[in-house]
Structure 1
């Protein structure tokens, strides 16, 4: 059994929209209050608290704030679980030596979802029944598979969505071929396969950048709190949502093709978050003046890396492969995969701008194709000459 999420568009009435917005606002208040309680308790007593202790206070809170009686109890409990999870993740990062990122308060504009973890919702005759809200019209554009476990109501701009997390049985499928394919991820091209095939990078964000720039400039000129500013915010959010949807659709299509075709898919074990870090400042030791550090070029590269969606592409392939059963997605060390010749195994140093691999042994091919062959060879555990012959 595996978990799968189905997302559907909701079409609430004006009154229902107001109720959903009101529910989000109350959940945001509760989240911030629970976070504040944890901070103050640790400051004054040196001890923290947990979900159980805070959940026990919900009946008292409802007596003081009667409006919380109009929200399903499990929705409020899930808000407190969300606070619990943020602190657990914080302490995990501390123990791992990563940048901790202490839990922060949420604004109403950023707190955009609430969850029915077990009960309080049901699907009937093309409508979603939500406790304390009513029957909301829903667009069921595909069949919901398995057993629904949770229902998340999410706001995206002016639109509302229902996300059902379902427990479904795995449906094994045999790939078209039992071959291994190595994949080198890039910026100018989204991916190059060891077979020589190329997945182009549509650069959705870059294509929408001019419109986004104009929309964000218009937003910056609007007076805070005005209706015009709210409309400008919605326009910027709509443009970002369109780019995200375009990218997801493209990555879904190609990840499905790869999983349906190959039995083993080999990626580089890369960390896009590390590759897209800002350039470090350079300072003259004698004068103290800051020197050119290529921040402009690095910023453009970072934007292209994030636009490509490498992590998302790998994640889509991984969960589709898990559902397929016989397909596996693996990762190998990316060290020297771009520099080593796939024909003879010698190191041919190249700058990032050199896109063609040329070796004295006579191997001539695209730099990314050469890297994809090396990635495949690393997984097979062969010498580079054997990998090339196979």
Structure 2
């Protein structure tokens, strides 16, 4: 159990360093959310009743056969089995080895993608994928559920139900966001052989601007809203899923430095802050080139990625 392992490691680390090791803390029923069996057949068996024609079962030691909803075929050899709880739902997670790869046929197309908030992605050939804004769409229901929770008594059954309701809403948002990322990544992988994206440091981009008591930040409310929009877009989830799908399909994924990609003219290469007129408008102060700002940035991203690719081949 992962949390228990981390607790043991932290305890012995404090003992080695001569610090006060502390005391065990109470661990309620919600403390453990994952149980892992490192080997299929040792305390856990996947597809334990394979002769059953219409259902899949996993056998858990001390529990017995549990029927699972298998949403896709299992490929390769099952190595590790985990049972994970998310909210009120339970999942069986399989780690497989020797999974066969299924490379897609080549298309000969290359693309650069610019990640944004107004549009989730904008490609170098002018296509845009709308940002579904899942958290914003669920904001009213979440606010109502939070107000309902605030009126409940600590430790009551009604409060537990209110907490479960909020957890369910957040889980739904998370599933919707992951589903959107899968569909977007799949479309990119099917359509292009080479995909270039920005190497974004999302944790740094969403850092709070509140500062400290001595040096308070500026524009805290605006930065907070931007951070919320960036996290709602799910750039990190999309890039992670895109990397997995690109590797499985035999596509090439290249990450480039995003510095000045939105300020540089894709036609003449002039870089200046005044080139970016607004969020969506780009007009080069040197050559007068006009384009959608995100499309211009995506072209620059593609050009930088192809330059890196060519340099790597020449080396």
Q: State the match for 2:86 in structure 1.
A: 156
1:304 to 229, 233, 243: 229
Cα distance in 1 between the residues matched to 2:75 and 2:152? 46
TM-score (structure 1 length as normaliser): 0.69
Cα distance in 2 between the residues matched to 1:29 and 1:357? 50
Q: State the match for 2:103 in structure 1.
A: 172
Q: State the match for 1:6 in structure 2.
A: none
Answer 1 or 2: which has greater helix percent.
1
TM-score (structure 2 length as normaliser): 0.85
Q: State the match for 1:371 in structure 2.
A: 297
Cα distance in 1 between the residues matched to 2:16 and 2:288? 67
Matched, 1:256 2:186: yes
2:72 to 130, 142, 167: 142
Cα distance in 1 between the residues matched to 2:101 and 2:44? 25
Q: How does 1:214-229 map to 2 (within 5 A)?
A: 214-229=144-159
Where 1:277 maps in the other structure, the secondary structure is: coil
Cα distance in 1 between the residues matched to 2:19 and 2:148? 48
Contact conserved, 1:222 with 1:228, CA < 8 A, in 2? Answer: yes
Where 1:267 maps in the other structure, the secondary structure is: strand
Report how far residue 172 of structure 1 moved: 1.7
Q: State the match for 1:269 in structure 2.
A: 199
Q: State the match for 1:57 in structure 2.
A: none
Q: State the match for 1:66 in structure 2.
A: none
Cα distance in 2 between the residues matched to 1:308 and 1:115? 31
Q: State the match for 2:307 in structure 1.
A: 381
Q: State the match for 1:241 in structure 2.
A: 171
Contact conserved, 1:190 with 1:308, CA < 8 A, in 2? Answer: yes
Contact conserved, 1:212 with 1:239, CA < 8 A, in 2? Answer: yes
2:126 to 154, 172, 196: 196
Deviations 1:127-165 (A, max 9, x none): 211111111121123221111111110112222111111
Matched, 1:349 2:270: no
Deviations 1:25-67 (A, max 9, x none): xx58854762463144224389x9xxxxxxxxxxxxxxxxxxx
Structure 1 window deviating more from structure 2 (243-252 vs 350-359): it is 350-359
Structure 1 window deviating more from structure 2 (334-343 vs 31-40): it is 31-40
CA RMSD between the two structures = 2.6
Question: Alpha carbons of 1:318 and 1:30: their partners in 2 closer, same or farther (altered >3 Å)?
Answer: closer
Contact conserved, 1:358 with 1:365, CA < 8 A, in 2? Answer: yes
Cα distance in 1 between the residues matched to 2:248 and 2:253? 12
Unaligned runs of 5+ in 1: 1-26, 49-103, 383-390
Cα distance in 2 between the residues matched to 1:215 and 1:368? 37
Contact conserved, 1:256 with 1:320, CA < 8 A, in 2? Answer: yes
Where 1:243 maps in the other structure, the secondary structure is: helix
Q: State the match for 1:116 in structure 2.
A: 37
Where 2:104 maps in the other structure, the secondary structure is: coil
Q: State the match for 1:333 in structure 2.
A: 257
Contact conserved, 2:209 with 2:217, CA < 8 A, in 1? Answer: no
